[in-house]
C-alpha cells in the first residue's frame, strides 16, 4: 500500500505538487493522468524518494520512504532511461538485477519468458549496449527490469510512449495478467487515456499538482469523465 499525507513540493515560490491525502491499496492498478506540467512525474519521484519533499510524507508498505531503504527491496520502477546502466547489454543488466534480487539464472529466464513476445528478438542476445537501443526497446528493457524479482509495488511512467501498436497491446496483456494475480500494486502514469482506462481500476487526474478527480467507477464512466474534462 502507498500512503501519502500533506505532500508538497515547491521549487522556490512555485508549488508544483500539493496532495493532502492519497491512499493506493495493495493490489490496485492505479492510473495517473494529466496534461504536461500536471506533476505526475514529480509525484512518482517523490514516491521513489528521488527528490526531497518540501512538506509531507510518503509511506510504502508501512515504511516512510524518507527514513530507510527497506521498501526498495520490493519496489520496481521505470521512469526514464537514466535509471538504466547504458554501458551494459540488456542481458548483463538483467543478470545484475537478478543477483541483487537473489534469483538464479533459471529463475531469471522464467521471469523474463513472458516478455519475449514484447522483446520481439530485438533486445536480448544481440550484444547491443542499452545506450544503443531505440527508445522503444530501451523502454521495454526498463519495464521488464522493473518487474524482476518479487515486487509488491511497480511504478511505470509513460510505459506506452515510443512503443509501436503491437508492442503496446503486448504490454497491456502483460500488465493485465500480472494485475489479475493481485500480487503487485501498479502505478501507471500515461497520456494515453485509452490504454490507461483499459487496464486501471482507478484513475487520478492531476492538474497543476492538485488532484482534480479520483475516478473509481467502471471503465465507461471513467472514459466519459476524462473525455468531458479534456475536451474543453
Give me the residue spans of the domains in the chain: 25-37+69-230
Contact between residue 111 and residue 148 where contact means Cβ atoms under 8 Å apart:
yes
Q: How far apart, in whole angstroms, are the C-alpha atoms of residue 186 and residue 199?
A: 10
Q: What percent of the chain has pLDDT over 70?
A: 100
Beta-bridged to residue 202, according to DSSP, are 30
User: So what's the pLDDT on residue 20?
Assistant: 95
pLDDT digits (tens, 9 = 90+) for 158-199: 999 999 999 999 999 999 988 888 789 999 999 999 999 999
Contact between residue 90 and residue 124 where contact means Cβ atoms under 8 Å apart:
yes
Q: Mean per-residue pLDDT for 205-228?
A: 91
Contact between residue 182 and residue 27 where contact means Cβ atoms under 8 Å apart:
yes
- Judge whether residue 204 has pLDDT over 90: yes
Residue 63: Cβ-neighbour burial (10 angstroms; 0-12, 13-18, 19+): middle
Question: Alpha-carbon torsion 92, 129, 176, 228, what sign?
Answer: positive
pLDDT bin (cut points 50, 70, 90) of residue 100 is confident
Helix, strand, coil in percent for the chain, rounding step 5: 40, 25, 35
Assess if CATH 3.40.50.300 describes domain 25-37+69-230: yes
pLDDT digits (tens, 9 = 90+) for 47-80: 999 999 999 999 999 899 988 888 998 999 999 9
Alpha-carbon distances of 90 from 81, 145, 154, 160, 232, rounded to whole Å: 12, 9, 19, 19, 43
Claim: this prediction has a pTM higher than 0.75: yes
Q: Mean per-residue pLDDT for 92-117?
A: 91
Q: Going edge to edge, which strands form the sheet with 185-189? A: 75-78, 153-157, 185-189, 29-33, 202-207, 210-215
Alpha-carbon distances of 136 from 171, 203, 211, 228, rounded to whole Å: 12, 25, 30, 31
pLDDT digits (tens, 9 = 90+) for 7-46: 999 999 999 999 999 999 999 999 999 999 899 999 999 9
> Grid coordinates representing 230?
479534456
Distance of CA 131 to the CA centre of its chain: 21
- Measured from the Cβ of residue 107, the count of other Cβ atoms closer than 10 Å reads 14
Q: How far apart, in whole angstroms, are the C-alpha atoms of residue 3 and residue 141?
A: 28
Q: How far apart, in whole angstroms, are the C-alpha atoms of residue 164 and residue 160?
A: 8
Amino acid at each position: 500500500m502507498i500512503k501519502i499525507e500533506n505532500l508538497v513540493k515547491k521549487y522556490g515560490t512555485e508549488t508544483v505538487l500539493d496532495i493532502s491525502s492519497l491512499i493506493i491499496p495493495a493490489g490496485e492498478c492505479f492510473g495517473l493522468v494529466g496534461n504536461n506540467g500536471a506533476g505526475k512525474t514529480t509525484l512518482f519521484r517523490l514516491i521513489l524518494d528521488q527528490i526531497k519533499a518540501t512538506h509531507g510524507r510518503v509511506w510504502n508498505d508501512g515504511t516512510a520512504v524518507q527514513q530507510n531503504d527497506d521498501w526498495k527491496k520490493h519496489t520496481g520502477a521505470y521512469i526514464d532511461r537514466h535509471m538504466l546502466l547504458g554501458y551494459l547489454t540488456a542481458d548483463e543488466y538483467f543478470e545484475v538485477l537478478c543477483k541483487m534480487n537473489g534469483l538464479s539464472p533459471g529463475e531469471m529466464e522464467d521471469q523474463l519468458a513472458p516478455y519475449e513476445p514484447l522483446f520481439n528478438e530485438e533486445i536480448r542476445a544481440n550484444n547491443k549496449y542499452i545506450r544503443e537501443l531505440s527508445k522503444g526497446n530501451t523502454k521495454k528493457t526498463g519495464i521488464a527490469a522493473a518487474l524482476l524479482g518479487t515486487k509488491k509495488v511497480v511504478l511505470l511512467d509513460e510505459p506506452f510512449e515510443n512503443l509501436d501498436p503491437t508492442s503496446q497491446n503486448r504490454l497491456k496483456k502483460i500488465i493485465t495478467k500480472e494485475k489479475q494475480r493481485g500480487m503487485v500494486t501498479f502505478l501507471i502514469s500515461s497520456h494515453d487515456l485509452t490504454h490507461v482506462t483499459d487496464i486501471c481500476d482507478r484513475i487520478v487526474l492531476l492538474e497543476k499538482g492538485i488532484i482534480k478527480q479520483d475516478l473509481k467507477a467502471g471503465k465507461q464512466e471513467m472514459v466519459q469523465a476524462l473525455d468531458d474534462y479534456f475536451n474543453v
